[in-house]
Structure formats: C-alpha cells, structure tokens
Amino acid sequence: MLRVSDVTSFITCPRLAYFRIHHWVERATEYHAAREIYLSLRKGYGYEWAFERFSTLFPESEDVFRAAASKFRMSDELEGLQPVAWEVHFESERLGLRGVVDEVLEGDRFLVVMLTKNSEEFTFRERMRLAALCAISGMDGGYAYYAYDGKLMFYSASRRDRYNLLRLLEKLRRIEKGFLPERKESERCEFCEYRESCETKPSTFLSRFF
C-alpha cells in the first residue's frame, strides 16, 4: 500500500518516489523533530518530553532536534482548535493509500504539521498531500500548521485536486510495480540520499513517456 509521503515524494522527483517505495531508509530530519515538539507542546508537555520521544526513534540526532527547536514557533491561533484524537492513522483499500494526521479536531477536521510557508497559497505539493489526507480520512478539509512560521492555514478539498490526486496514484502504482521513471537532474540531486543509486540506473526508452 502506498503512503501519502509517496505522493509528495513523486511531486518532488518521480525517481525519489521510486527509491523511497522500494529502498526506504528512514533518517532523522528537522520535520520529524518539529512534529514531536508540536505534539508534545499541544498535549501539555514540554521540550524535554519531545526530545525523549524523538531520541527514542532517532538516537544520536540531538543536533537535528536542537536545530528544529531553535526555529519552532507555537501560535495562539491553535487554542481555538479542539483536538479529539492524536496521531490517527487512516487507510483506504479503494485507493491503496495510507497516512497519518497529527490531530483529529472537533467539527470533522484534521491538522498536520508542516515546516515553512513562503506564500499565501498552497503549493501543488501541499495541496496533494492535504487532498490525499482528505481522501483517506473521509473529511473534506483540514489545517496545515507551519511550525517554523507559526502560521495556520485551512484547506478544503476541490474536485480538481481529487482528480489530480487520482492521476498521481495511477503513476505511483506503476512505480510500485517496479517501473523506473526517467532520471531528471535538479538542484536537489546534489543532496539526495539516493543519488549514487540513481546515477547507476539509466533511463529507458519507455520512461520518457511516463
């Protein structure tokens, strides 16, 4: 079954989605740390508890946690949202997709943590993540909380977003079955953890039509 993170990985780079689907290795990131900080503070605990949770999953990653903690911001806007459940997993057999929301809120809404927001609109990548969460949870909208900006934004799923999500899932199912997309160079390649593996796997003629 595909993960919501596979959808966002595909938008970043189709080959990144391929390697994460078939050769997944979880590494500590500031997102993981920021999420633990958010959950701990929202539940009424502190940074020490957040670090306890984070370091249990990612030992020897204190620098990552400290970096996230130095940028983290908690907004007063969150006080107006009432959580009824935390870290809720959803999955859809029909879509072959699973994922997790950080909070389920009163009013049949969800909330997920993101890191930074550079515009007043959702990017395509953000919309697809949120549309996927709507699809598997059965909710028609939810909130994104940008932990480094202290910014809360509401998302409502549109028919166009649902349609685009289905198109992405069709391509991801091909990747899940072993199809290797064409290799495309970008600035991100320099920092990609799969760069060496990617460079040794040449593109095929059929990958051009993916």
For 91-141, what is each residue's pLDDT tens digit? 999 999 999 999 999 999 999 999 999 888 999 999 999 999 999 999 999
Q: Which of 8-22, 55-69, 98-112, 174-188 has the lowest mean pLDDT?
A: 174-188
How confident is the model over 3-31, as a mean pLDDT?
93
Which residue, 180, 131, 102, is CA-closest to 4? 131
197 has pLDDT over 80: no
* For the chain, percent of residues with pLDDT exceeding 70: 95
How would residue 24 be classed by pLDDT, with cut points 50, 70 and 90? confident
Which residue, 90, 101, 89, 102, is CA-closest to 38? 102
Range of the domain at 40: 2-209
3-state helix, strand and coil shares in percent for the chain, rounded to the nearest 5: 50, 20, 30
**How does the average pLDDT of the chain come out, rounded?**
93
Residues in CB range of 114: below 8 A, 6 or more apart = 126, 144, 145, 146, 147
Per the structure, how many domains does the chain have? 1
CA distances from 66 to 11, 113, 116, 139, 189 (A): 29, 18, 17, 34, 26
Please tell me the predicted confidence (pLDDT) of residue 130.
98
Please tell me the predicted confidence (pLDDT) of residue 35.
98
pTM: 0.91
Q: CATH code at 78?
A: 3.90.320
List own/partner pairs for 57-61 with CB under 8 A and 24 or more apart: 57/28, 57/32, 58/27, 58/28, 58/32, 61/28, 61/33
3 has pLDDT over 90: yes
How would residue 182 be classed by pLDDT, with cut points 50, 70 and 90? confident
For residue 146, the 8-state DSSP code is E
How confident is the model over 17-29, as a mean pLDDT?
90
Q: Higher model confidence: residue 26 or residue 61?
A: 61
